[in-house]
Structure 1
Amino acid sequence: MKLHLLLLLCALSTLSLQSPTQSPDKCECELSSTHPFPRDKLNNTQKDAADCNNDVTPQKALELESLLLGLERRLPELVEDMSELEREDDGGMYGVLALHVIHNELHEIRLLMDRLNITVTTNRQQTQDTTQQISAIRAELQELETYDTQQVIKRDLINKRLKRDLDQCRTGQRPTDPPTAQELCPHGRFQNVSGPRINTAGEYPGSFKYGAWGRDPKPEEGKESWYWYVPLTASNRYAHYVRLYSSLSSLVVGVSVPGNVLIHSSNPTTNTVQGPNVVLYGGALYYNCYNMDAVCQFNLTSKTVTTLQLPKGTRFNSKSNFCHLDECYPFTDLDLATDESGVWVIYTTNQDHGNLVLSKVEDRPEGLVLGQTWHTSMYKQAVTNTFMACGVLYATRAVNKDTEEIFYSYDTTTGQEQFNIGIYFQKIFPNIYALNYSPVDQMLHAYCESNMVSYKVIFDRHGHV
């Protein structure tokens, strides 16, 4: 029975590639393994581990211990012989013989110390070499573990597809792939980014290196043109208010008519903002709660805070930041994002070995809950920023100080990943500390070293397939 089912699943894995000469009523395919496990690398790692075991043996530790013990015993004997000579020296034959004995003992102790020095030097060098080997082995094992986990997840997704196709085949339906999130996007397919369209130092030029800004995708009535701004005012890590502007021009010239809305009078303290990755949605600010692996929602009208605890093992407090080759951006463990459907949180966990995890944040009558969750195979610290657009997660990386690349995407509808998006855009400043998509005007809002910059997202309205 198991063999029969395996053959059926195998047959379905390339159903869409069946030969046109075959009967359309048959479900046949060719089984292929496109991602074999790197056994050669595992074998090399095992060999390196065995070499370490051969190099570091109990006998070598016993040799050093034996030399130290011998020296420990000989030195008191030498002291005793010297004391006896001082007491019994008769100035004659006894003194000469005693000195000869002491001279021999000193010679043997010197030889013992030479052997000890050589052994210590050898062991010290071997310790350094072994430490480097262990570090390399640990890195290799972590890579192999991540590879295996990623492939298991991918194969699980493929098996789910095969099961679906098998059920459709049994009922006589033709297997079809569901539409992607991009194909369902009302704007069309994400095609490019142009700009920058806006570049302003705002109200506090040169101040507050880290922060975020943007628009509310679901604004309250009368606030459709408002913009928000959250600077990290303490230690490039904390914030305790959101600053509101009635229009873009007000933000550019630095005139905040609504002013600040305080989360708390102190900074930092419980439920204030930690890290630059914040968003505003539906009149509420979403952010990483201070010193917690949790999402906070601050309602700007009621001034109340609701907390959403993230899964056990979520990394926080600058344990898994966005990075590029030169540096990592501190306290960017959690990234909040908005798109046409609402609020998302992007993070990572120990169980996912540092890969990006994406969850929907749902605001229900009973409070905030974590909705559907997706696990990717993209390592978080290989990414500088993420954002959402039409249910697709996009990740960027720094090409150089002048260029950023959108290189990766994860479609939440199909679970498909792409690693070669290849959309480049110009940077005004080398570092982008926060990046968020606004579905109101299809703009990307970036916070770059105290400056607010935005780019226009270009969709291909005829790109539906």
Structure 2
Amino acid sequence: NEALEVNSVPYKFIVTIRPKEGWQVYSSAQDADGRCICTVVAPEQNLCSRDAKSRQLRQLLEKIQNMSQSIEVLNLRTQRDFQYVMKMESQMKGLRSKFRQIESNRRTLLTKNFQELKGKMNDLQPLIPVLEQYKTDATLISQFKEEIRNLSLVLTAIQEEIGAYDYEELQQRVLGLEGRLRNCMNKLTCGKLMKITGPITVKTSGTRFGAWMTDPQASPKNNKVWYMDSYTNNKIVREYKSVSDFVSGVESRTYNLPFHWAGTNHVVYNGSLYYNKYQSNIIVRYSFESGRVMTQRALESAGFHNVYPYTWGGFSDIDLMADELGLWAIYATNQNAGNIVISQLDPLTIQVLNTWNTEYSKRNAGESFMICGTLYITNSHLTGAKVYYSYSTKTSTYEYMDIPIHNQYFHMSMLDYNARDRALYGWNNGHQVLFNVTLFHIIKTDDES
């Protein structure tokens, strides 16, 4: 086995308040001294149909097509007007002949020719607006020429920026790299938390307290976001098809839960929402697909309704979370003197599969999250918070730590790890944020049994 630190950056979520479509970091690696070994970046799968260059090219194409139609109309009108000009030329020749006749015999033909001349002039009258239209058309053509010249410059600049690759070829290369990257990442075993960086502010919305999350069990193409504002007196879950839609506020669906929730420590796992039913120690499993409660079960002896909350309160007695190993509940009991209890749950039945008692007071914990079967606990929800304590369910041992976490907006009411994105989701005083984590990984070699 070869040991290294992998900076597990969430590959789907390098965004700002107004995100730009673009290349995103999948993962990077460091050696034991912290020196960068490599960083893997690639555009998301549908980038080529959605990025800024593609939109600009599409807009230019539509503009040129519109210009082409205008020029075609102008051409037809010019052909029509040309017939008028030919007629005008013939009539001018006739006028010149008449003038010669008048000059040779002014007295005898003056009256007759004057009437004929007046008639000819009347015939020429409709040609005057034709000539005016020619002036307008000439101006329009000049404008077209200038606009086409400008468009050509823009297209040339974009082509130089894109380089030699066309989008289809680039897309195939990206898909190939994505497959190779996933194969590589699948070789990563569970790791130990070494560092937390960030946060990245995704959005600012809602009250001071709330939760937002994605499903770690969802397919790579499923990037739905669920949003639950406030820690009580609410039953509304808002769904967004992607992080971009979430940032833009474009909801795809709203769910009205049958029971109010307590706290902000909910989790979406394999298509279901798990949450603590208000004023109880009952855990509810709600299926988004069927829109109904599939299971509900009391967590035996668990304190609830601010008996054993985190330091910030908010009915945060029972914390539901998921990691690489499954579904977990973090809570406290009288039997364990108010210290944190860790239970692994069956996702279908919500039955407790196994339980570990820690010696860390639940009321002294700011927040907690599971990574690879190890519980990490922060010592505060306020400025200066750090990961202070960890408990491994694999070895049933604990360790004191000192990993700072930047509490940018001074009040953390939700912090949860997502194993698919390898990132921490946080609700930081009305700001939805993401933290990157650095894990110490063991890489499986191909010759390993």
TM-score (norm. length: structure 2) = 0.54
Matched, 1:385 2:367: yes
> Residue 272 of structure 1: CA displacement?
2.6
Q: Deviations over 1:61-97 (max 9, x none)?
A: xxxxxxxxxxxxxxxxxxxxxxxxxxxxxxxxxxxxx
Q: Answer with 1 or 2: which has the greater Rg.
A: 2
Evaluate the alpha carbon distance shift between residue 223 and residue 301 of structure 1 in structure 2; reply closer, same or farther with a 3 A threshold.
farther
Q: Distance in 2 between matches of 1:399 and 1:275?
A: 14
Q: Residues 46-445 of structure 1: matches in 2 within 5 Å?
A: 186-201=189-204, 205=205, 207-219=206-218, 224-232=222-230, 236-256=231-251, 258-264=252-258, 271-305=259-293, 306-311=295-300, 313-323=301-311, 328-364=312-348, 367-398=349-380, 401=383, 403-419=384-400, 421-445=401-425
Q: Distance in 1 between matches of 2:307 and 2:188?
A: 34
Q: Which amino acid aligns with 1:244?
A: E
Q: Deviations over 1:236-289 (max 9, x none)?
A: 423212211111111122222x2212213xxxxxx3311111110011111111
The aligned residue for residue 453 of structure 1 is: 433
SS of the equivalent of 2:336 reads coil
Aligned length: 257
Q: Deviations over 1:298-337 (max 9, x none)?
A: 11111222112111x32111111111xxxx3220000111
Q: Which amino acid aligns with 2:207?
A: F
Contact 1:189 1:463 in 2 (8 A): no
The aligned residue for residue 97 of structure 1 is: none
Sequence identity, in percent?
A: 29
Contact 2:386 2:403 in 1 (8 A): yes
Range with bigger deviation, 337-346 or 455-464: 455-464
Q: Which amino acid aligns with 2:408?
A: I
Evaluate the alpha carbon distance shift between residue 340 and residue 222 of structure 1 in structure 2; reply closer, same or farther with a 3 A threshold.
closer
Contact 1:391 1:413 in 2 (8 A): yes
Q: Distance in 2 between matches of 1:196 and 1:411?
A: 26
Which blocks of at least 5 consecutive residues in structure 1 are unaligned?
A: 1-183, 265-270
Q: Which amino acid aligns with 2:328?
A: W
Which blocks of at least 5 consecutive residues in structure 2 are unaligned?
A: 1-186, 445-449
Q: Distance in 2 between matches of 1:387 and 1:238?
A: 25
Q: Deviations over 1:381-435 (max 9, x none)?
A: 111101101000110023852x32011100001101012x111021121111011
Q: Distance in 2 between matches of 1:357 and 1:399?
A: 20
Evaluate the alpha carbon distance shift between residue 191 and residue 240 of structure 1 in structure 2; reply closer, same or farther with a 3 A threshold.
same
Q: Distance in 2 between matches of 1:243 and 1:308?
A: 24
The aligned residue for residue 102 of structure 2 is: none
TM-score (norm. length: structure 1) = 0.53
> Residue 462 of structure 1: CA displacement?
5.3
Q: Distance in 1 between matches of 2:235 and 2:382?
A: 33
Q: Deviations over 1:140-161 (max 9, x none)?
A: xxxxxxxxxxxxxxxxxxxxxx
Q: Once superposed, which parts of structure 1, at least 4 consecutive aligned residues long, lie more than 6 Å away?
A: none
> Residue 188 of structure 1: CA displacement?
3.0
Contact 2:195 2:403 in 1 (8 A): yes
SS of the equivalent of 1:356 reads strand
SS of the equivalent of 2:228 reads strand
Evaluate the alpha carbon distance shift between residue 212 and residue 335 of structure 1 in structure 2; reply closer, same or farther with a 3 A threshold.
same
Evaluate the alpha carbon distance shift between residue 185 and residue 415 of structure 1 in structure 2; reply closer, same or farther with a 3 A threshold.
farther
Q: Distance in 2 between matches of 1:229 and 1:400?
A: 23
Contact 1:308 1:370 in 2 (8 A): no
Q: Deviations over 1:47-67 (max 9, x none)?
A: xxxxxxxxxxxxxxxxxxxxx
Q: Distance in 1 between matches of 2:353 and 2:191?
A: 25
Q: Which amino acid aligns with 1:438?
A: N
SS of the equivalent of 2:305 reads coil
> Residue 463 of structure 1: CA displacement?
8.9
Structure (1 or 2) with the greater strand fraction:
2
Q: Distance in 2 between matches of 1:215 and 1:238?
A: 23
Q: Distance in 2 between matches of 1:461 and 1:196?
A: 22
SS of the equivalent of 1:353 reads coil
The aligned residue for residue 168 of structure 1 is: none
CA RMSD of aligned residues (A): 2.1
